Chains A and B, each alone.
Chain A
Amino acid sequence: MSGDKFGADFRDDLRAYAAVLRQVVSLELRRAFAYRVSFWLRFLGGLFANITVAYFLWRALFAESGAKIMAGFTFEGMILYYVLVPLIGGITRNSTEGSAIASEIYSGTLTRYLVYPMPFLLYRFADVMAAVIVALLQLTIMLSAYLLIFGIPAGIQLTPSSVALGLIAALGACFLNFLMVSTVEMVAFWADNVWSLNVMLMFSGQLLGGALLPLTLFPAEVQRYLQLTPFPYLMSFPVQAVMGKLSFGQWAQSCGRMGIWILILTVLARVVWRRGQRSFSGVGI
């Protein structure tokens, strides 16, 4: 009897969470599209800059070195890599933008979330999911357009299943990034300003995660050490998976490593959150 009651309560809680999450996602989507011109200009401008710089840089590099393949990429394959970086980055790194958690701590408005019937971090993750929906839409449109115009480059095994594996990896990376950013932002419980910590994380992620350069360009030893950090799972792993550059075994192994990082950071985030709450006065600064 008590088991039935527990089950019913649990179902009620889940239903309530789902309803709140739906509401938050819907609100965030409306907010994202409030300034449509700015939103699309920012997205298309960023994409244009990323691809154009990569095109001219790698064209010069392939020409100067005389190589046909560099770090496992042909020139066309390399350009596809740089097309995918901002598109997949929209999914994996969207919580890097803004300092939502830190702002709530500084302004003292975190207090209202503490009395909400759901965990604060889950509420914040709903914000991130709204951005993921938008990013998935952008990825679908842009990647389809690119492949229709330029086709799949030689040596790239981009298939529906590689895209599916890549997207699963990207969603995992999105959660991993959320945990990393949230933990850093929660330092705001003790520090005056954590914006710079967030930017530090972003810069490090760009180089060590493969957003600036494919990680296969790094010396083998550096690549080996990088695999022990969470950074390659944020960008390089999902992009390589979409491009069909990983076998299922390699994909599963990387997912496992990413899972371990997610576990470690979940524990860390919980510890920081609990300790932070104890030192939170609620008045803001």
Chain B
Amino acid sequence: MRRYLRLYLQFLQFSFSRAMEFRLDFFFRILMDVIYYIVNIAFFKVLYARTPMLAGWNERQTMLFVSIFLVIDAINMTVFSNNVWQMPTQINNGSLDYYLTRPVSSLFFLSLREFAANSFVNLLMTMAILVWALRLNMELVTPLNLLFLVPLIANGVFLYYLLNMVFIIPVFWTHSGRGFADLFHSFTRFLERPDRLFTGIMRLILTVVLPLSLIASFPARLFIDGFETGLFLHLTLVTACFAGFMTLFWRKGLASYSSASS
């Protein structure tokens, strides 16, 4: 464990020094994410000009949902995104060999090697948006609620990563440029909307089969509507199942990996 921590600190140091080499890009990326936040907030602001409630939430509560989603997205962009993005190329051109021969878990190395230092600044900004949204919903804020929000967000980030990986791993067999990453990108629209919008079979899909609604919507619901044992168990059970499934899937992929010819 200590070895992995030491290694991760090395990753951090390397990533920050590299980010500072490309200063202009550093600022462009910050600006890019700021626009993304504005777009997401403005989207719901325009909708709430037409209705007082949406999917059981008023505007203030939806802003809390949006801010939770933005924090989860920012952590994912900072910690995992760059690494997952590069994986199909590494699998296709055989550079995965390098990671397989290291004396650490290949999944750990590949998933966490690059820390997006520029997104880290954006992560701080999303935290500020979360604080703003919490201030809009002061009646919901208690020390216990806040403490509980931290593992819920962590779970959302982890689930986001797991689902993203499930769409990347097929590249071991398809050998296409990006695997099904673009498909996952299209599906992320579901996680940007409150889960109670979806009913029937779509709800089942989004909460069990492809649990995108569990990433940000369930944490927001547990915070806004109060703790619900069933909801919490659902969240942890589905995340655990997906963690197991992704690990198995990754091993299957590695078993059929044949270096540069892949």
In this assembly, does B32 line the interface, its C-beta being within 8 Å of a C-beta of chain A? yes
Whether A49 lies near B186 (C-beta < 8 A) is: yes
- Kindly list 10 other residue pairs between chains A and B, CB separation below 8 angstroms, not including A41-B183, A50-B186: A42-B180, A42-B186, A46-B182, A49-B187, A49-B190, A61-B47, A196-B25, A213-B43, A213-B46, A217-B50
State how many angstroms separate the Cβ of A46 from the closest Cβ of chain B.
4
In this assembly, does B109 line the interface, its C-beta being within 8 Å of a C-beta of chain A? no
Partner of B202, one of A56, A60, A203, A212: A56
Q: Contact flags (1/0) for B23-48 with A, using CB distance below 8 Å? A: 01100110110011001001100110
Instruction: Give the distance in Å from the alpha carbon of A53 to the alpha carbon of B183 in the complex.
Output: 15
Partner of A45, one of B36, B39, B187: B187
State how many angstroms separate the Cβ of A3 from the closest Cβ of chain B.
50
In this assembly, does B3 line the interface, its C-beta being within 8 Å of a C-beta of chain A? no
Name which of A62-70, A233-241, A242-250, A265-273 contacts chain B. Answer: A62-70
Which residues of B in the span 163-194 have a Cβ within 8 Å of any Cβ on A? Answer: 174, 176-178, 180, 182-183, 186-187, 189-190, 193
Whether B46 lies near A218 (C-beta < 8 A) is: yes
Partner of B55, one of A49, A60, A65: A60
Whether A50 lies near B31 (C-beta < 8 A) is: no
Q: Give the residues in chain B near A213, CB-CB below 8 Å.
A: 43, 46-47
Q: Give the residues in chain B near A137, CB-CB below 8 Å.
A: none
In this assembly, does B127 line the interface, its C-beta being within 8 Å of a C-beta of chain A? no
Whether A197 lies near B176 (C-beta < 8 A) is: no
Partner of A200, one of B31, B54, B187, B197: B31
Taking beta carbons and an 8 Å cutoff, which residues of B are in contact with A?
22, 24-25, 28-29, 31-32, 35-36, 39, 42-43, 46-47, 49-55, 174, 176-178, 180, 182-183, 186-187, 189-190, 193, 197-199, 202
State how many angstroms separate the Cβ of B173 from the closest Cβ of chain A.
11
Interface size on A, residues (CB 8 A): 38
Instruction: Give the distance in Å from the alpha carbon of A70 to the alpha carbon of B174 in the complex.
Output: 44
State how many angstroms separate the Cβ of B195 from the closest Cβ of chain A.
10
Q: Give the residues in chain B near A65, CB-CB below 8 Å.
A: 50-51
Partner of B177, one of A35, A60, A206: A35
Instruction: Give the distance in Å from the alpha carbon of A165 to the alpha carbon of B187 in the complex.
Output: 32
Whether B31 lies near A53 (C-beta < 8 A) is: no
Instruction: Give the distance in Å from the alpha carbon of A60 to the alpha carbon of B203 in the complex.
Output: 14
State how many angstroms separate the Cβ of B143 from the closest Cβ of chain A.
33
Q: Give the residues in chain A near B55, CB-CB below 8 Å.
A: 60
Whether A212 lies near B180 (C-beta < 8 A) is: no
Could you pull out 28 A-B pairs where Cβ atoms are within 8 angstroms? A35-B174, A42-B183, A45-B182, A45-B186, A46-B182, A49-B186, A49-B189, A50-B186, A52-B190, A56-B198, A56-B202, A57-B197, A60-B54, A61-B47, A61-B50, A71-B50, A191-B28, A192-B22, A193-B22, A193-B25, A196-B25, A196-B28, A196-B29, A196-B31, A197-B32, A200-B32, A207-B43, A213-B43
